[in-house]
Amino acid sequence: MHQNIQFNLPDQIAESVAPWNEWLETGRLRILADDRFRTAPVFGPLLPFWDQIPKCFIPGGEASKSLDVVQKIWSWLDAEATDRGHVLVIVGGGTITDLGGFVASTYKRGLPFVLIPTTIMGMIDAAIGGKNGINYAHFKNQIGLFQLPALTYIDDHFISSLDALERTNGWMELVKHSLIADAALWNDIADIDIHLPDAIEPWIQPAARIKKTIVAQDFLDQSVRKTLNYGHTLAHALEWKAQEDGIPLSHGVAVGWGMIWSNGWSGSLQPTESRSLFQVSQKIHGWLDGIPENNQRDWLSALNPRDVWPAILRDKKNRNGVVLDVVLDRVGNARWDHPLTLDKFSSIWKQVFQ
Ligand SMILES: NC(=O)c1ccc[n+]([C@@H]2O[C@H](COP(=O)([O-])OP(=O)(O)OC[C@H]3O[C@@H](n4cnc5c(N)ncnc54)[C@H](O)[C@@H]3O)[C@@H](O)[C@H]2O)c1
Instruction: From 113, 142, 161, give the residue that closes a domain.
Output: 161
Q: Binning pLDDT at 50, 70 and 90, where does residue 13 land?
A: very low
- What is the pairing mode between strands 139-146 and 131-136? antiparallel
Q: What pTM does this model have?
A: 0.94
Query: Is residue 172 located within the same domain as residue 301?
Result: yes
SS3 state of residue 246: coil
* Mean pLDDT of the region 147-151: 92
SS3 state of residue 249: coil
Q: Above pLDDT 90, what percent of the chain?
A: 86
pLDDT given for residue 212 in this prediction: 95
pLDDT given for residue 15 in this prediction: 47
Q: Binning pLDDT at 50, 70 and 90, where does residue 105 land?
A: very high
Domain that holds residue 100: 5-161
pLDDT given for residue 8 in this prediction: 67
Query: Is residue 127 located within the same domain as residue 201?
Result: no
The CB of 93 under 6 Å from ligand 1? The reply is yes
Count of the separate structural domains present in the chain: 2
Query: Is residue 151 located within the same domain as residue 263?
Result: no
pLDDT given for residue 52 in this prediction: 87
Query: Is residue 340 located within the same domain as residue 221?
Result: yes
Instruction: From 126, 161, 196, give the residue that closes a domain.
Output: 161
CATH at residue 48: 3.40.50.1970
Instruction: From 127, 144, 161, give the residue that closes a domain.
Output: 161
Query: Is residue 77 located within the same domain as residue 100?
Result: yes
Average pLDDT, the chain: 93
pLDDT given for residue 137 in this prediction: 85
Query: Is residue 268 located within the same domain as residue 248?
Result: yes
**Chain segment 14-29, per-residue pLDDT in tens:** 445 567 778 888 889 9
* Mean pLDDT of the region 70-87: 97
Torsional sign, CA 237, 242, 248, 254: negative
CA of 269 relative to ligand 1 center, distance in Å: 33
pLDDT given for residue 18 in this prediction: 66
CATH at residue 218: 1.20.1090.10
Query: Is residue 217 located within the same domain as residue 98?
Result: no
pLDDT given for residue 9 in this prediction: 47
Q: Count CB neighbours of 278 within 10 A.
A: 14
**Chain segment 261-314, per-residue pLDDT in tens:** 999 999 999 999 999 999 999 999 999 999 999 999 999 999 999 999 999 999
Closest CA to 285 of 163, 125, 175: 175
Tell me which of 5, 91, 95, 215 to substitute to probe ligand 1's pocket, judged by most ligand atoms within 8 Å of the beta carbon: 95
pLDDT given for residue 49 in this prediction: 83
* Mean pLDDT of the region 204-231: 96
Tell me which of 69, 119, 169 to substitute to probe ligand 1's pocket, judged by most ligand atoms within 8 Å of the beta carbon: 119
pLDDT given for residue 278 in this prediction: 98
Q: From the alpha carbon of 159, which atom of ligand 1 is closest? A: 31
Query: Is residue 135 located within the same domain as residue 76?
Result: yes
Residue with more model confidence, 10 or 124: 124
The CB of 249 under 6 Å from ligand 1? The reply is no
pLDDT given for residue 5 in this prediction: 78
**Contact residues for 92 (Cβ-Cβ < 8 A; gap 6+):** 32, 33, 34, 37, 58, 60, 100, 116, 117, 118, 119, 122
Q: Binning pLDDT at 50, 70 and 90, where does residue 4 land?
A: confident
Q: Which helix (DSSP H) or strand (DSSP E) does residue 134 occupy?
A: strand 131-136
pLDDT given for residue 1 in this prediction: 63
Query: Is residue 187 located within the same domain as residue 115?
Result: no
Query: Is residue 80 located within the same domain as residue 178?
Result: no
Query: Is residue 148 located within the same domain as residue 203?
Result: no
pLDDT given for residue 3 in this prediction: 74
Query: Is residue 99 located within the same domain as residue 121?
Result: yes
Question: If you ran DSSP here, which 8-state letter would residue 158 be given?
Answer: G
Q: Binning pLDDT at 50, 70 and 90, where does residue 170 land?
A: very high
